[in-house]
Amino acid sequence: MKTKPLFDFNRAEIQLVVDAMRLQIKGLSGFDKKLMETDYFKVINQGTMAELDGMGMEHITRSLRRKALMFTALYGSTKHIETKKIMYDLAAVVASRRIKFQQQHNPLNKKEASAGTANAS
């Protein structure tokens, strides 16, 4: 199951996501790096139409939050406030969409729903 969590992001927001993911990839190695690169290339090539699973959305969320934290470490808490706010807000949007996606596609919820209708018959 996959969804398009970036469907309403504009070009500048997509670029922020790409930059944050690129920065995150630099700090990874091995299999973690390969997984992240897979989602990174999806976002680069497909932009707002990128289909991602829960892990891909988590990669985006972590990348945006990490980049915002790095801005704070580099420039202090009083500079680049608007840019950091945008990154945190985008991370919150993607995190919210991931949670909704996972709740809708949770196999345990589907088993409970089908079990409930089977008993009602």
Neighbouring C-beta atoms of residue 36, cutoff 10 Å? 22
N-term to C-term CA, the chain: 29
* Per-residue pLDDT reduced to its tens digit, 68-92: 999 999 988 888 899 999 999 999 9
Residue spans of the domains in the chain: they are 11-115
Cα dihedral value 22, 17, 64, 26, nearest 10: 0
pLDDT class of 121 with cuts at 50, 70, 90: very low
| CA atoms of 31 and 22, how far apart (whole Å) | 16
- Residue 8 φ/ψ, nearest 5 degrees: -110, 15
pLDDT at 116 over 60: no
The secondary structure of residue 28, as a DSSP letter, is -
Q: Specify the higher pLDDT residue, 118 or 55.
A: 55
Cα–Cα distance list, 39 to 4, 18, 73, 84, 106 (Å): 12, 10, 26, 22, 21
If you count them, how many residues does the chain have? 121
* Per-residue pLDDT reduced to its tens digit, 20-55: 999 999 999 999 999 999 999 999 999 999 999 999
